[in-house]
Structure 1
């Protein structure tokens, strides 16, 4: 017998605890909070104009749908109340605590048209999105989630999804919202590339890194760039609102796919690593 094989690659296992329902929470929460933030941005662009209540209500629906999927995932759903007991240590608890006020404040702003309530809803949406990003960051056993650059990636994803949904649902007539969606889409690509480079530098599991070369991942990246080009064309006066709405739809759908891959496909636990391989019959070198 000579050298022992390094078991790191063979020991890496994909996590099985979080499935599409957990991914759905990050999708719904990111899109919903992004919609609320986009609605607040629209109010800044159009002082004196009525608040886009439909965007706030759509955001509320997305966040609630995401939370419902998590509730369904739990084996004993009423144990979900336990999530509120550890705010000092758990970002999931903080997410749950912020969710109630976010839903209530957003719905109240939509019903009343109050700018103060809209500002409060935007702050709560930003806090909710941050909590979601830190939930992944706190998952130390999974390099694809625990890398520090996952936080800006999730934040950028939420803004890109929310602003893309805003264009799709009726905001494509606003040049300011189209510019916001374009900036958020480009920021997401920059954050994704920085995240990929960070995983490479940190020697993430080979199975995780392989997803960046997967044909599906490359196709999605191409579609996200297409979304940016469509928004840019709309800003240049080509295609109008229909072009911007199409770009928003693509930005939204590809953002969902990115999160689905991140949560359910690329999430491998790091295997055991053997830094020195013993050799039979040979003295260890100092």
Structure 2
């Protein structure tokens, strides 16, 4: 790797770190959706499994895995430490849901929101990466995770029952919010040309994977469809919404993570020439 005025791609986080953001966001969103919908306990477990897989992936990235325990040492100043502290509380709340504790459902949803918020702040705190440090990254990552979770809930429950009108309305609102936040974030972004090229390339998947499920939600809300057609529509819409969000976050972490580079020095010293 060569350092200089030209931006370079960070080498610290690879697909395993991206998996943490993909699984953590989608799993947290699924837990929130399950709590709002009064879903069966196994849906909460599926969300916790996604969160756990993401954490396991990022743990596997560490060259000396036992050092991962150090992440718990700095909750006062590190969003990564706060994520690590929220995770076991989230798993415990989901465990209580599986044991039939009704009060644990809203608690699990609140902890899931806290978890995905911590993940968004981890990215935004990386000030050397222009595509991450933009303040609009935080609401975008949170909204993306919630939309993914709603999509996964539609997908997982599609073989069982047709989603109610309220679920489609919430799903449509989350997709519209996700797209609006992405548009505002992209407009404000001042990143390296290669980072912007990666982001715009991801948008070729992200935008259709947001607009098509949004159109499906509008159709489900306004068109007279039978339960069979609705269940097929919700499976397709949910899968698209989840896949689009996952691809965006994967690209953001692995392909758009260019450092800003060093500013060129306005004046360089020359041996034998007196300073003026």
1:247 matches 2:234: no
Report the CA distance shift for 1:268/1:253 in structure 2 as closer, same or farther (over 3 A). same
1:86 matches 2:81: no
Aligned position for 1:65: 53
CA distance in 2: counterparts of 1:175 and 1:144, whole angstroms:
36
**TM-score normalised to the size of structure 2?**
0.88
210, 224, 227: which one aligns with 2:210: 224
1, 17, 42: which one aligns with 2:37: 42
Aligned position for 1:28: 23
Give the Å deviation of 1:110: 2.8
**TM-score normalised to the size of structure 1?**
0.85
Report the CA distance shift for 1:63/1:219 in structure 2 as closer, same or farther (over 3 A). closer
1:95 matches 2:90: no
1:98-247 equivalences in 2 (<5 Å):
98-112=86-100, 114-170=101-157, 172-199=162-189, 203-214=190-201, 216-237=202-223, 238=225, 239-247=229-237
Q: Is the 8 A contact 1:95 1:128 kept in 2?
A: yes
Q: Which runs of 5+ in 2 are unaligned?
A: 269-276
Q: Is the 8 A contact 1:233 1:243 kept in 2?
A: no
Aligned position for 1:48: none
Note the aligned Cα RMSD (angstroms): 1.9
CA distance in 2: counterparts of 1:179 and 1:111, whole angstroms:
31
34, 44, 58: which one aligns with 1:56: 44
Q: Is the 8 A contact 1:53 1:109 kept in 2?
A: yes
Which stretch of structure 1 is more off in the superposition, 73-82 or 203-212? 203-212
The superposition leaves residues 116-140 of structure 1 with CA deviations (integer Å, 9 ceiling, x where unpaired) of 1111111111111110000001101
Q: How many residues in Structure 1 have an aligned counterpart in Structure 2?
A: 259
236, 250, 258: which one aligns with 1:268: 258
Q: Is the 8 A contact 1:52 1:110 kept in 2?
A: no
Which stretch of structure 1 is more off in the superposition, 136-145 or 237-246? 237-246
CA distance in 2: counterparts of 1:268 and 1:166, whole angstroms:
34
Which stretch of structure 1 is more off in the superposition, 223-232 or 22-31? 223-232
CA distance in 2: counterparts of 1:245 and 1:210, whole angstroms:
31
The superposition leaves residues 191-236 of structure 1 with CA deviations (integer Å, 9 ceiling, x where unpaired) of 111110110xxx321222222433x532431232112111221222
